[in-house]
Structure 1
């Protein structure tokens, strides 16, 4: 999910040390100006908290109330087989997060695909790191219907954002000693860098313009956008992958892109997902064919993505689905795993991604809202690719930075890494690109993902039998009596 915005000017102006936004008389006032002022104020408060308490810490409150997020082991036959998370609060990069439930079992081992049996607790070769992952999450009326104003005929005006958290684990080769933040981890301490989303060098992407657009029509021989309307393009990682010193198609990430910042979304009705008799298509009942978050309508011959209300806790996406047809009278869509309706047969090899895709979609049968948050379809604008997303250009062994074509001469390139430090492209990482009609542009430089923003803090390290070190930083509350 994302916001229907014109651009993120705070992101564009990052590093310029702006303090305020000043509105000028007689000028138009855009959403970007308002949002940038909010972001500037938010960053100032967060910086103050970091200066006072450090990058991560928990306060010991008056009365001896314990610091939150204490990780406690559960043993079976003298071996750790589960962990619990203690109640309380904790600060990470100036953000206060709270576990206000009873001590809960670590959710890391719930299945990534809801219908696949839960993964077993990982084998602890030497040490296990439990760490806090705090993520900035957009909130739309599909997440909270209270954002709709009946005074505006049930329309939305502004979205919200919140910080949500999950505790994850990674296996370590050795106890890496003291950490000021989780980002101090080095690759040689990780038993499997893929277990930790920032254990490898972050992926980078750049946007540029070619003289030939995606439908092979020659555009003017200059670096300019040839579209007829302004857009906020978004390129996002659909399937994680790594890029080393040369392209490996098997290990490379898969992408998807939107010309509206992936904002157009369509709410799925309760029990609105059913499999058709041909066993290769699904019928989706929607609340509306007009998108919430933009002025788009659902159209046939487009890719959409099913998204559950708790999408931000998941490390994988559901497969992309091809919209075959629309029933406007009944507000229904017929979708498949591609224009050619791929199906599982006795010839489908074990481990084929098609099997995982079919298994994943089984979980959507009987789909229901979670509280006020509704399942939805997200509209994407690429037409090529398959249910796994877009492949990168190039072949195995190529040493040129691979990429994808978008449209109207716009293209995106991903940066290769090195053999010793491949670049990691994580599910959900995205890059935005603002284009204005006929604006001559110079290619941008490679940059880290624009989002989503993740904040990390180490909590504890365990051996296979006991706690080795509690890594939470504890400080006395400023308001504690002397």
Structure 2
């Protein structure tokens, strides 16, 4: 979540039940947020343990034939995925669902449904700031920021036979890397060979269902296993703070300091372009990506030059913009499509008119006038010599001690054999008091390798769709719970 937070402290492995405020002590926003996270964690676990991981209330989210053979209907109601409530207030179709990518930013919903497909729901929590939703601001406070919000976003997606058979082939390359660099990856099935076999078996069984065209409840269980196994191909990253002579500032920081800054920071390392190492890229922010501005009147000129008006220039350097800064032009559509938004470098600022001019080297086919948000990132050629023309840093994996510097002594290391998804992120709190970062250590006393803190995506299998003549019929895979008073 791109909020202005001190840090994120919730850790389910600690077994905490509540946060206890004490008299006369300071209360941080992180502690209030942890209390909320504790409550939500316990509530969702109770729902899963008592009823199940994916179920609908009554007819909520029931899938049925649509007006054409390439469309299907989604019924209004409620559905729970891993205890997360998904709500739909009115009937919609596959192509008109509320969190589907908007035209002009990402491809529209497919116009040709395959003969047989698996329909599933993918759910994640997203952060909404007052910049994205101005109604959150209290007018009586002069439009100042207060609290932001977390929103549940869901999408009904389809999975085809070609997509299923491609996953094991894709992971075969990752498996070879993990064999060559045995590391800290943990598999639910035991060791790497067991995991590879489980992934191949679940994909083959699911592909056989597509070929036979006769799905049943056993096929639904196999689809769930496929998603559970597929989720384990995610990446790992380490972080540390080390002395860097280029950042030396003896007037303010001790000469033996590691993290070298006058201010506490919450660094955010976020995957920009997804894929394996060599094709994946990342970006970083010292403010958790919270320096953002509402966009209006976006105009594109020849040569990739973009001129846009923003709502404010920020209060100071920490929350403002300068020439040379890298920024992304984005909107909800990029997030819902899991698509890397274009990055551009600011070449000019007209502060009187609140106009910024930037140069964008990528983004062919993108309708920039549909972008609603400009977000600043802090990578530069000074700190990242291998910075690409598009403004992102290549993901380079290492297990031999090679680290990628961010700034002021903060470094990261990606573990070999990870698959990176656009939007994956890690948070690194850095503190002046200790001249170090807050990062867990392994039993060997080295920085621990951690999975991304988010985006955490939850999936539920809804059913198989089969095109028959002029409509689509569905084989239901999800439990339906009827309220007691309706029985």
TM tier relative to shorter chain: 0.7 to 0.9
Decide whether the 8 Å contact of 2:4 with 2:290 is kept in 1: yes
Q: Counterparts of 1:24-423 in structure 2 under 5 Å? A: 24-60=22-58, 67-73=59-65, 81-106=70-95, 114=104, 118=108, 120-121=110-111, 124=114, 127-172=116-161, 173-175=207-209, 177-179=218-220, 184-185=225-226, 198=230, 201-212=233-244, 224-243=258-277, 249=278, 252-269=279-296, 272-276=297-301, 278-290=302-314, 295-337=318-360, 342=361, 354=362, 357-360=363-366, 363-365=367-369, 367=370, 375-384=372-381, 385=387, 386-387=389-390, 389-393=392-396, 404-417=404-417, 423=418
Return the alpha-carbon distance in structure 2 between the equivalents of residues 408 and 154 of structure 1: 34
Matched, 1:457 2:460: yes
Return the alpha-carbon distance in structure 1 between the equivalents of residues 462 and 344 of structure 2: 39
Choose which of 410, 431, 435 in structure 2 pairs with 1:439. Answer: 435
Decide whether the 8 Å contact of 1:58 with 1:472 is kept in 2: yes
- Counterpart residue number, 2:195: none
Rate the CA distance shift 1:232–1:122 in 2: closer, same or farther, 3 A: farther
Rate the CA distance shift 1:203–1:393 in 2: closer, same or farther, 3 A: closer
Rate the CA distance shift 1:86–1:216 in 2: closer, same or farther, 3 A: farther
TM-score (norm 2): 0.76
Rate the CA distance shift 1:143–1:253 in 2: closer, same or farther, 3 A: same
- Counterpart residue number, 1:2: 2
Rate the CA distance shift 1:320–1:114 in 2: closer, same or farther, 3 A: same
For structure 2, the 5+ residue unaligned runs are: 162-206, 210-214, 382-386
Residue 263 of structure 2 aligns to a residue whose secondary structure is coil
For structure 1, the 5+ residue unaligned runs are: 61-66, 189-197, 244-248, 343-353, 369-374, 418-422
CA positional deviation for 1:148: 1.1
Choose which of 438, 450, 473 in structure 1 pairs with 2:479. Answer: 473
CA positional deviation for 1:180: 6.0
Residue 35 of structure 1 aligns to a residue whose secondary structure is helix
Residue 120 of structure 2 aligns to a residue whose secondary structure is strand
- Counterpart residue number, 1:23: 21
Decide whether the 8 Å contact of 2:300 with 2:306 is kept in 1: yes
TM-score (norm 1): 0.77
Return the alpha-carbon distance in structure 1 between the equivalents of residues 224 and 264 of structure 2: 37
What do you get for the CA RMSD once the two structures are aligned?
3.4
Rate the CA distance shift 1:402–1:107 in 2: closer, same or farther, 3 A: farther
- The count of residues paired between Structure 1 and Structure 2 equals 415
Return the alpha-carbon distance in structure 1 between the equivalents of residues 224 and 43 of structure 2: 22
CA positional deviation for 1:101: 2.4
Residue 425 of structure 1 aligns to a residue whose secondary structure is coil
Deviates most, 34-43 or 49-58: 49-58
Rate the CA distance shift 1:476–1:409 in 2: closer, same or farther, 3 A: same
Return the alpha-carbon distance in structure 2 between the equivalents of residues 181 and 297 of structure 1: 50
Decide whether the 8 Å contact of 1:56 with 1:181 is kept in 2: no
Residue 44 of structure 2 aligns to a residue whose secondary structure is helix
